[in-house]
Amino acid sequence: MKRVYYFSTQKYALEDISLSRVKVSRLNDLNDPFELLAADLINPKHRQAFAKFKNQLNNIAGLICFSKSWSNPLLWGHYADKHTGIALGFDVSDDLLIDVRYTSFRPRVEFDEANRVLVKGHNVVDKLIRTKFVDWKYEDESRIYVQLDHTVTELEHHFFNFSSDLILREVVLGMNCKVSIAEIRKLTDTNLNQIRIKKAGMALRKFRIIEDRSYRGK
């Protein structure tokens, strides 16, 4: 098992804790337009084939995106509603997690020109699902690739339930989050001894987010 962190707004984090689930991001809704399109696509035929390929995958699969740490202030600014949100720390089964590799170069893939399809499409997905532009490196991302038929659907959104492969271990309240530790304890009462709840604060000498050990909010 590895500890990873899922960033969310206050509202949705509380719903996730209460309902024991996390939202699955659809491939076409991710904030990086190069997701699954990171290959070298100079050939227009390849671009068409890849666009079709990504749309097909979007209908059957999605991602749950985590960071390996909660200390980077950019993560809180971008994914936790300007530090008002919450980071959920999970222990996740090693065989589910995919570590992202960051690069400045777009990998080349092989096409079957006659049939206009990717050669070894499964291997291509495995490679591209791990590939992001180097400027995303601050995310230090790990992700779970989820088949949508393994999820719960609600109002067109897909959710992945907590399980023995996805165990909630930490709840980190953003430094501007108005939810109290006591409120979180009520939601996690049945697993109180297994889940650590803490408040984020600013480090005094580095640009890092750390635990505010002086916080006594109720």
DSSP H or E run through 211: strand 209-211
- 94 pLDDT above the threshold of 80: yes
pLDDT classification of 124: cutoffs 50, 70, 90: confident
Q: By three-state DSSP, how is residue 65 classified?
A: strand
Domain ranges of the chain: 2-170
Mean pLDDT of 102-118: 76
Q: Integer distance in angstroms from the first to the last C-alpha of the chain?
A: 31
Extract the tokens encoding 184.
Answer: 């979180």
pLDDT grade, residue 15 (50/70/90)?
very high
Summary mean pLDDT of the chain? 89
Question: β-strands 152-154, 157-161: how paired?
Answer: antiparallel
Q: What is the pLDDT of residues 48-87, one digit of tens each?
A: 777 888 888 889 999 999 999 999 999 999 999 999 999 9
Residue found by looking up tokens 């509380």 in the block? 14
